[in-house]
């Protein structure tokens, strides 16, 4: 299954290697930003949530510009400087000592990260064909989580709230890890060029920009689905999940790290199987299933909150089970969402389509932290759990409404070939 999921072009395989290397650095810090800002650097829960929400706001504001630049100049010229800025910003988190400096560093990281996701997705889409794209995006996600899991296991054994230097060390290492995919892209001079360049001496062809993208009704519905799902799903991992586990369930940061490891283990072990099972099946139905799985994960976390300190071991197991169940939903979402986005896109606007997809995470990155932090910090953990469960189920309904808007090819369903009767040939 691994051999079948690998892209045919060696350049795409090297891009995937860069994803794995940078993900190890990301895994060192992913579950700890909220804890680092509050318990190590002394920010209140609400201020830490605002800092993380500000990062999402800046990312959101810059993502449209990133998509436009990618279509105009090619992903290569945009992504390479973004990797350097992201590396500097992430390393600078080690020096944060106040709310003002936290906002400044979050701004720097957002500037660097605003075009990385859409740029990498555009590069991979340009190196793969329609038949293998869904498999390759799924494999990319598996490698991403393998790296995050390895980094999480390492940091879980290192970080200690009583020793701030341990957090500083992992943020410095995370910053260095962003230079690995930059070096790989530099070694591939023909990769990441503009996809729809006009012929020499000809005027640039009009593309219509983001207005054309937004007029695409199926993609517009996909964006609404993604906003609701990520706001009640991914955007809750760094703040909602961590804050609920530490404040309400009262587990230690180490349990949070092991929960991330459980999430990663399930993704790495099951992603290739899920990719194979999704082939030839409706993408819209798969997205609806993701909403149901995410809702089930938050229900398990709610059970952990009810158990609390009365049975600390069982509560910790529920926290890890929540993360594992959430991971199963991720294995379904990761190959389908980018594949469907690029199935609806054209080469002239592919950067903008992928930028719009990344804007989903930017918007949810604003709403998620600024609501979860104050809600859970104010003792309203049950209300938070009800909101995220309901939101995930609403996303499932929207995904099912997307199916009639898609052609069978866009939806990933096999296209029926009409049977033609053989012509009668005269003797």
Encode pLDDT of 288-311 as tens digits.
999 999 999 999 999 999 998 888
Band of pLDDT at residue 200, cut at 50, 70 and 90:
very low
Report the C-alpha gap between 379 and 87 in whole angstroms.
36
3-state secondary structure of 163: strand
Q: What pLDDT is recorded for position 359? A: 83
Residue in the block written with tokens 């800092």? 51
Q: What pLDDT is recorded for position 121? A: 87
Q: What tokens appear for 123 in the block?
A: 């590069």
Enclosing H/E stretch for 73: helix 45-73
Q: What pLDDT is recorded for position 198? A: 47
Cβ-Cβ contacts under 8 Å for 354 (sequence gap 6 or more): 67, 70, 117, 118, 119, 121, 122, 125, 338, 341, 342, 345
Residue 425, pLDDT > 50, answer no
Question: Which of residues 45 and 83 earns the better pLDDT score?
Answer: 83
pLDDT (mean) for 222-240? 89
Band of pLDDT at residue 325, cut at 50, 70 and 90:
very high
Residue 33, pLDDT > 90, answer no
Residue 202, pLDDT > 50, answer no
Q: What pLDDT is recorded for position 1? A: 67
Encode pLDDT of 50-108 as tens digits.
888 788 788 888 888 988 898 888 889 999 999 999 999 999 999 898 899 999 999 99
Encode pLDDT of 131-149 as tens digits.
788 888 888 888 888 888 7
* 31-40, 163-172, 377-386: range with lowest mean pLDDT: 31-40
Q: What are phi and psi of 200, to 5 degrees?
A: -60, 130
Q: What domains lie within the chain, and their CATH numbers?
A: 6-189+213-405 (1.20.1250.20)
Distances (CA, A) of 411 to 82, 162, 276: 33, 51, 16
- Do the beta carbons of residue 210 and residue 352 sit within 8 Å? yes
Report the C-alpha gap between 174 and 78 in whole angstroms.
21
Geometric angle at alpha carbon 134, from 265 and 112, rounded to 5°: 75
Q: What pLDDT is recorded for position 357? A: 85
CA dihedral 377, 383, 389, 394 (to 10 degrees): -120
Report the C-alpha gap between 37 and 51 in whole angstroms.
9
Encode pLDDT of 356-375 as tens digits.
888 887 788 778 877 887 88
Residue 422, pLDDT > 60, answer no
Q: What pLDDT is recorded for position 427? A: 39
The model's pTM is: 0.76
Report the C-alpha gap between 207 and 346 in whole angstroms.
10
Q: What are phi and psi of 219, to 5 degrees?
A: -70, -35
Burial 295-328 (b: 16+ CB within 10 A, else e): bbbbbbbbbbbebeeeeeeebbbbbbbbbbbbbb
CA dihedral 184, 185, 186, 191 (to 10 degrees): 140
Band of pLDDT at residue 415, cut at 50, 70 and 90:
low
């Amino acid at each position: 299954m691994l051999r079948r999921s690998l892209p045919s072009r060696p350049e795409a395989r090297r891009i995937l290697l860069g994803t794995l290397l940078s993900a190890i650095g990301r895994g060192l810090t992913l579950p700890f930003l909220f804890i680092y800002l509050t318990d190590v650097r002394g920010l209140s829960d609400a201020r830490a949530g605002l800092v993380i929400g500000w990062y999402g706001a800046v990312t959101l504001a810059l993502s449209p510009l990133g998509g436009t630049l990618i279509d105009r100049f090619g992903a290569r010229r945009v992504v390479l400087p973004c990797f350097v800025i992201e590396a500097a910003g992430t390393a600078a988190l080690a020096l944060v000592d106040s709310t003002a400096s936290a906002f400044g560093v979050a701004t720097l990281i957002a500037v660097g990260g605003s075009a990385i996701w859409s740029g990498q997705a555009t590069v991979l889409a340009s190196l793969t064909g329609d038949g293998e794209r869904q498999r390759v995006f799924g494999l990319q996600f598996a490698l991403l989580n393998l790296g995050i899991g390895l980094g999480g296991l390492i940091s879980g054994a290192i970080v200690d709230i009583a020793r701030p230097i341990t957090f500083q060390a992992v943020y410095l290492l995370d910053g260095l890890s962003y230079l690995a995919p930059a070096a790989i892209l530099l070694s591939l001079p023909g990769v990441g060029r503009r996809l729809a360049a006009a012929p020499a001496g000809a005027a640039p062809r009009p593309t219509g920009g983001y207005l054309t993208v937004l007029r695409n009704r199926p993609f517009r519905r996909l964006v609404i689905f993604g906003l609701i799902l990520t706001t009640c799903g991914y955007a809750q991992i760094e703040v909602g999940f961590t804050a609920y586990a530490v404040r309400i369930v009262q587990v230690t940061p180490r349990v949070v790290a092991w929960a991330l490891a459980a999430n990663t283990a399930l993704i790495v072990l099951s992603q290739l199987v899920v990719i194979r099972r999704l082939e030839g099946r409706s993408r819209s139905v798969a997205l609806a299933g993701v909403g149901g799985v995410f809702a089930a994960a938050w229900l398990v976390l709610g059970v952990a909150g009810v158990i609390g300190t009365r049975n600390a071991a069982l509560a910790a197991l529920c926290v890890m089970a929540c993360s594992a169940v959430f991971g199963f939903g991720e294995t379904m979402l990761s190959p389908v969402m980018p594949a469907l986005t690029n199935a609806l896109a054209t080469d002239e606007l592919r950067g903008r389509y992928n930028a719009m997809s990344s804007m989903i995470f930017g918007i949810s990155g604003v709403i998620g932290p600024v609501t979860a932090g104050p809600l859970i910090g104010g003792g309203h953990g049950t209300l938070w759990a009800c909101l995220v469960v309901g939101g995930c189920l609403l996303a499932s309904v929207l995904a099912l409404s997307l199916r009639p808007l898609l052609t069978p090819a866009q939806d990933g369903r096999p296209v029926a070939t009409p049977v033609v009767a053989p012509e009668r040939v005269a003797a």
